[in-house]
Amino acid sequence: MLPPFFTNLFKSQFLLFLFMLLAGSLLLENTTLKAQSSSYPTFAPPINYPMSLSGTFGELRRSGFHFGIDLRSQWTDEEDLILSIDDGFVSRISVSPGGYGNAIYIDHPNGYTSVYAHLDQFAPEIREWVREQQYRQESFQVNLYPTRNQFPVKTGQFLGTMGNTGHSFGKHLHFEIRRTDGQIPINPLLFGYEVQDRHAPVLQELGIHILDDRGNTLERTTLPLRRVGGDRFSTGTDKIEIRGWQFGLSLKGHDRMTGTNNRNGIYHIALYVDDELYHEIRFDRIAYSERPYFRTHVSHAINVLDNKRHHLLYQHQGNRLQLYCDCPTYGIIKAFEKQDRHIRIVASDFQGNESEVEFIAVRAAPPYEREELVYTHTFHPDRAKTVQLGGGSIHFPANGFFKEEKLNIRQLPASREDALSPSVYLEETGVAFYNRPELRIHEYNIPADKRSKVFIGRIDDDGNIIRVGGKWRGGDFISRISSAGEFALFVDNTPPEIKPIRFRRDMRGLSSMSFEITDELVAGSNGGQLEYEGRINGDWVLFEYDLKNNLIEYHFDRPLESGEHKLEIRVKDAVGNETRREWTFIR
């Protein structure tokens, strides 16, 4: 036995060793994000006040990832000025009634491109040039590429004002930083920007997915998560019985930042099984070419059927996203009847604030036995297949699916009496398409005078028609479809409507006029939007189009002589139904 002196010395050295180990661990954890950011240059901020986010990079949206960060307005009487983050030149300007609305793209000499979207107004010199191009093309929507020397910019130079144009539902700046080569979006927070965030993510729901030997879901359940102290969450039970041989998990949650109630996306999620890292997600970069794989990152069935955003914590077959760790298990967990699996999920924001949930998983006895379901067709991801139906066909191209899938596809009587054909029905089971299939429906003796007004429509659960679009090819009408559902041929003979909103006979003293333009049918992803034009005294004038509000507005930007003037507005839908209206006004 050692003398007391040596025993105490050994204890003190051991405690010192533990302290240094713990301190080193904390130091490593606290410097991880700085190390990640150190490989990227730093940029000036795009606004002149502290940054507060209403949307984060990689955040899960209904149909895809969020490719930038959303910066909140300061909400004062002053305009929110948008500034260039570095020297460079304006390489692209886009104006659109949807999407990014008014957007500026700047190429910087260090190989990055910055994007500023949903702007209200461009800087004066840019605004004047854009208006000239719009009048030259007689189009509000333009995509412009100035020459390299046309609009050089310096760090902090005024580019425009924050707005709400395009597919935006509140004043903010959508801000991106891309690698210029390939236009690959990178998380802007990696470039040295500071945001105030002392709140850890909120974990809301856990998904349990029983998997077969090919990774297909046999059964899924969701459990609500509740906070049990600090940033720890619980499933409400210490042990979860798994009704299968293997399973995967999914997580729903959000992050709140200091001083805001916005529910932002989570930056990093790690899954540990028996203290071994099984799966990890980190939102640092997402290439636009990887957009289709969003449907393999989320639980597509939960996303579509339940309208919830769950991160899958295992890697699907066919998922080629570069977001994950190189973990040999791909996040798939084996369940044992007599051996507990200790599960821990850690979610963190960019500032390193962490939340976690822990539980024990054990296989139920007997395991889940799936009732054998019958499907009409099986599809392999690397093979093309055409499904022939009595009244048409659906062609699924090679690489049409991410993995092997089974679907029920039938021809049925249409659920609406005004359909011109039987329905082609793809049962909604949460299956995701990688490449959209081509739907072909036979003519069904449609009168010649109606052929130009025909379209393929999807009938939703409420019986409404969503215009999918399409075109004639011989005696068949064809269109790509992006989802399951019920499809049939319809005819549209109803022209769009034009309703004055800000217009009167005496327009003296008013700086603008506006009109609402609407169509009775809702357009799907490729159903086409309304075409329009406005003319005063026969000359084309620039009506700006706010698609989300169905509003067109003309700001008087050309001198008009005093007296009476003729206004003509024409609006046409996707099948050529047209409405023309004329008014006279005094200026």
Domain, as residue range, for 226 = 202-363
pLDDT of residue 365: 74
Residues 503 and 549 in one domain: yes
Residues 250 and 330 in one domain: yes
Give 429-432's long-range contacts (Cβ < 8 A, gap of 24+).
429/301, 429/484, 430/299, 430/300, 430/301, 430/302, 430/303, 430/304, 430/305, 431/300, 431/401, 431/405, 431/407, 431/484, 432/295, 432/296, 432/300, 432/401, 432/402
Q: Where are the beta strands (DSSP E) in 184-282?
A: 184-186, 202-211, 217-224, 226-229, 232-234, 239-242, 246-254, 268-273, 276-282
Residues 256 and 332 in one domain: yes
Whether the CB-CB separation of 225 and 204 falls below 8 Å is answered with yes
Whether the CB-CB separation of 300 and 431 falls below 8 Å is answered with yes
* Element housing 502 (H / E): strand 497-502
Residues 224 and 335 in one domain: yes
Q: Looking at 465, 491, 517, which one is the last position of a domain?
A: 491
pLDDT of residue 25: 42
Q: Is-cis flag, bond preceding 422, omega within 30?
A: no
Residues 470 and 412 in one domain: yes
Residues 329 and 388 in one domain: no
CATH code, domain carrying 478? 2.60.220.30
Residues 346 and 206 in one domain: yes
CATH code, domain carrying 527? 2.60.40
pLDDT of residue 218: 87
Residues 474 and 383 in one domain: yes
Does residue 20 fall inside a structural domain? Answer: no
Q: Both ends of the chain: CA-CA distance in Å? A: 107
Q: Looking at 449, 473, 491, which one is the last position of a domain?
A: 491
Does residue 9 fall inside a structural domain? Answer: no
The whole-angstrom separation of Cα 358 and Cα 232 is 8
The whole-angstrom separation of Cα 93 and Cα 116 is 10
The DSSP code for 60 is B
Does residue 161 fall inside a structural domain? Answer: yes
Does residue 44 fall inside a structural domain? Answer: no
Whether the CB-CB separation of 142 and 134 falls below 8 Å is answered with yes
Q: Looking at 149, 167, 191, which one is the last position of a domain?
A: 191
Does residue 18 fall inside a structural domain? Answer: no
366: closest CA among 244, 248, 247, 246? 244
Per-residue pLDDT of the chain (587 residues; tens, 9 = 90+): 444 433 443 444 444 444 444 444 434 444 444 445 568 999 999 999 999 999 999 999 988 999 999 999 987 778 899 999 999 999 999 999 999 999 999 999 999 999 999 999 999 999 999 999 999 999 999 999 999 999 999 999 999 999 999 999 999 999 999 999 999 999 999 999 999 999 999 999 999 999 988 888 888 999 999 999 899 999 999 899 999 999 999 999 999 998 888 999 999 999 999 999 999 999 999 999 999 999 899 987 788 778 889 999 999 878 999 999 999 999 999 999 889 999 999 999 999 999 999 999 999 876 666 666 788 999 998 999 999 998 899 999 999 999 888 899 999 999 999 999 999 999 987 788 999 999 999 987 888 888 999 999 999 989 999 999 899 998 899 999 998 999 999 999 999 999 999 999 999 999 999 999 999 887 765 556 899 999 999 999 999 999 999 999 999 999 999 999 999 999 999 999 999 999 999 99
Whether the CB-CB separation of 336 and 342 falls below 8 Å is answered with no
Does residue 39 fall inside a structural domain? Answer: no
Residues 275 and 333 in one domain: yes
pLDDT of residue 370: 65
pLDDT of residue 551: 97
467: closest CA among 454, 452, 455? 455
Cα three-residue angle 175-179-180, rounded to 5 degrees? 100
pLDDT of residue 139: 98
Does residue 33 fall inside a structural domain? Answer: no
Residues 303 and 206 in one domain: yes
The count of structural domains within the chain is: 4
- Read off the tokens for 169: 């539902």
pLDDT of residue 360: 97
Residues 333 and 472 in one domain: no
pLDDT of residue 293: 93
Does residue 37 fall inside a structural domain? Answer: no
φ, ψ of residue 201 in degrees (nearest 5): -60, 155
SS3 274: coil
Residues 383 and 422 in one domain: yes
